Amino acid sequence: MKAKVKFLIVLLSLSITLSLTSNTYSRYVADTTGNLEVSFTNWQILVNETDITSNANSSITLTPIIEENSNIAKNKIAPTSTGYFDIDIDPSNVELSFDYAITLAVENENIPDLMITKYALLNSTDTEEDALEVTNIDGNVIEGSLQYDNSVDDFNFEPFTIRIYFEWYEGIDEAMDDEADSLIGTNAQNETLRINANIEFSQKIN
């Protein structure tokens, strides 16, 4: 019972103290107001026109372009086939530096010689006729970093495209023989090309 009385007295004393403090301050600052206004940075990234920053996991569709070969049907792949797909990234509504990493994997088990080989960066002003600088992909990972320039008024990141190339690799000097090619082709004839691209964006705030 004593514990209850003591608790109630402490609570009552605390309440009185707060009330007195409030009245004391109001005597001096009753007519003073102040607002601290700070805008948070924008963080919105579009990948192939899909906003991927609103969800932890997003799914986008990648459309492969198979380069034409006079000996192979259009939009089909076979040994020696080459092609690419584009990942369009729009960071124009981002207001801080960030890193990106794209981890790639061919998921077609029946096409072991289909490989991701290289990539190129395309700016919004590049055209299909422009010569692109390609970079070999090491370990099926593409990494990059964009630095925000706060010394420029109204700075905006420009949209860009990462073009990723793949090919049905024949080995050095076309080392695979016809029997091996035929077996792989038979196993894969009813498959759809499946390439997984896991894209991660990381804010650089330190």
Cα 149–chain centre separation: 20
CB 104 within 8 A of CB 195: yes
| 26-30, 76-80, 189-193, 201-205: segment of lowest average pLDDT | 26-30
Contact call for residues 47 and 88 (beta carbons, < 8 A):
yes
pLDDT at 172 over 60: no
- Write down all domains in the chain, each with its CATH number in brackets: 43-203 (2.60.40)
Token digits for 65? 């372009």
> For residues 15 and 12, what is the distance between their CA atoms, to the nearest angstrom?
5
Please answer whether residues 60 and 162 qualify as being in contact, where contact means their C-beta atoms are separated by less than 8 angstroms.
no
Asked which of 24-28, 81-85, 113-117 is least confident by mean pLDDT, the reply is: 24-28
Segments of the chain assigned E as strands = 43-47, 50-51, 65-66, 82-94, 98-106, 114-123, 134-136, 141-146, 160-168, 195-203
For 135-151, the pLDDT digits (tens) are 999 889 999 999 999 99
Threshold 0.85, pTM exceeds: no
